[in-house]
Amino acid sequence: MGRILHESVGRSNRRRRIRGRRFTMTPLERRLAQSRRMVARLRDWGGFFGHSMLRFYNDNCFQTAASLTYTSLLAIVPLMTIGFAIFSAFPAFSALQTQIQMTIFKNLVPEIGDAILDYLSRFMANAGQMPIFGVIGLAVSAVLLIWTIEGAFATVWRVREPRSYVTRILSFWAVVSLTPLFVGASLSLSSTLWTALEFAHLDGVAYPLAGVGVLLPLALQLVGCSLLYLIIPNREVFWLDAFCGGAVGAVLLEGSKAVFAWYMREYPAYQTIYGALSTVPIFLFWLYIAWSTVLFGAVVTASLPEWRAGKITRGGPEGLSPAQRLALALAVLAELKEASRLGVGLPRRTLVARVPVGSLLIDGILDQLLDAHWVAHTTRDSWVATRDLAESTLLDLIKALGIGMRGSVRELGDLNRPWQERTARLLELADGRQGEVLNVSIKSLLADGVAEENSSTTLSVRAVKG
């Protein structure tokens, strides 16, 4: 008895020591754990940017950047004319107009900023003397640029339906009017602060603050990109996602400027070939680089919700197996069926919240169901099912989506529904007998509860026996 008690106490002490070692880490173990966490975080970020680059390529963003480049060349004069006309309406900023023009082109167009500013100043002066039809033509070219930007962002965010014309005009006007005012306010504030510090004989504080002027272009680019990603897409964008994408776009733009300026200095091929006309191809080349960086920032902004939810995929439903696409379609139809009981549709954000696979997959499968006439998008920005799920069968849905049965319907991110197991069994039974086994109504398949599960299983067994 004493020996048994001694062994029991010994085991208890050993467990106590093990628990103590489990929760008390040595400095070396703590550093190793921190290193592992850092490596895992870097791996996650690397995977995210790898996904963003793949999505950038798959969305043909290089071709889109080329289209935006040529459209920008036509629209830059009317846009600047409108912007500075708004700017000159404020007397407090009138003295800063020349300084703002120089700041924009010296910081945004490396190496050739002065030449471009000289040309554009002449063009804007000539634009003021144009007849009414010429002014209308310039305005149309400016609107075409904004529409091209919206179309590019619609591709990145998987938007099918554009906004109303009133909303588009207000959004475009906000971007065009607020940009010069923001630049003017920033320069005016920095100039006032500098003058006040020198007047107060605080030169020791003023000169270290000169470094702020170096960061001002980066800050303006960050704000500009963030506003583009927040305002232009016809999609709900979180401001923090827009800020992160704007930061990526601004940093890439700054890096591109440095590399571009170095290349123009070290390898002046354009000046050698084109001579006095070299400003035009150099400016076009720079616009192409700038738009590519802006579009990559947009891709990062659109991909952040997927990454945050842990649902990075290769370009939407096309990256899923056929069975996973079927499971995703059933999950969306199940949510729309529940909403139809109340006589309402479901907004996209509600579907994204209820079906835990990420917004990219939801948008893709909604597009496929819409093309197959299984769902409809209402004027209230909601989605509704257009087919009677009691009359529609699983085979009908498979044919409508144009998919086979390869893959596992049980595995789709964090999605875990009772009907997944029943659907998987039906697909397994349907190997070679599609027409018989899959003629089960989607309504009975999606029904929760033991009775419905037994009913659908009985249907499948009868179909196999028959």
DSSP string, 126-165: HHTT--HHHHHHHHHHHHHHHHHHHHHHHHHTT--SPPPH
pLDDT of residue 18: 45
Strands 382-385 and 346-347: antiparallel
pLDDT of residue 298: 94
Report the predicted TM-score, pTM, of the whole model to 2 decimal places. 0.65
Instruction: Say how far apart CA 267 and CA 249 lie, in whole Å.
Output: 26
- Torsion over CA: 349, 246, 78, 91 (sign): positive
pLDDT of residue 460: 37
How many residues does the structure list for the chain? Answer: 466
Show the low-confidence residues of the chain (pLDDT under 70). 1-25, 77, 81-135, 138, 175-214, 216, 270-271, 274-278, 309-319, 403-414, 427-437, 448-466
pLDDT of residue 167: 75
pLDDT of residue 353: 82
Closest CA to 364 of 345, 346, 381, 351: 351
Which two three-digit tokens encode residue 360? 């990219």
Closest CA to 252 of 286, 293, 285, 295: 293
pLDDT of residue 36: 76
Is residue 106 within 8 A of residue 203, CB to CB? The reply is no
Long-range contacts of 1-8 (CB under 8 A, 24+ apart): none
Instruction: Say how far apart CA 297 and CA 229 lie, in whole Å.
Output: 8
Backbone angles phi, psi at 113, to 5 degrees: -60, -40
Encode pLDDT of 359-380 as tens digits.
778 888 888 898 888 999 887 7
Sequence-distant (6+) residues with CB within 8 A of 417 are 331, 334
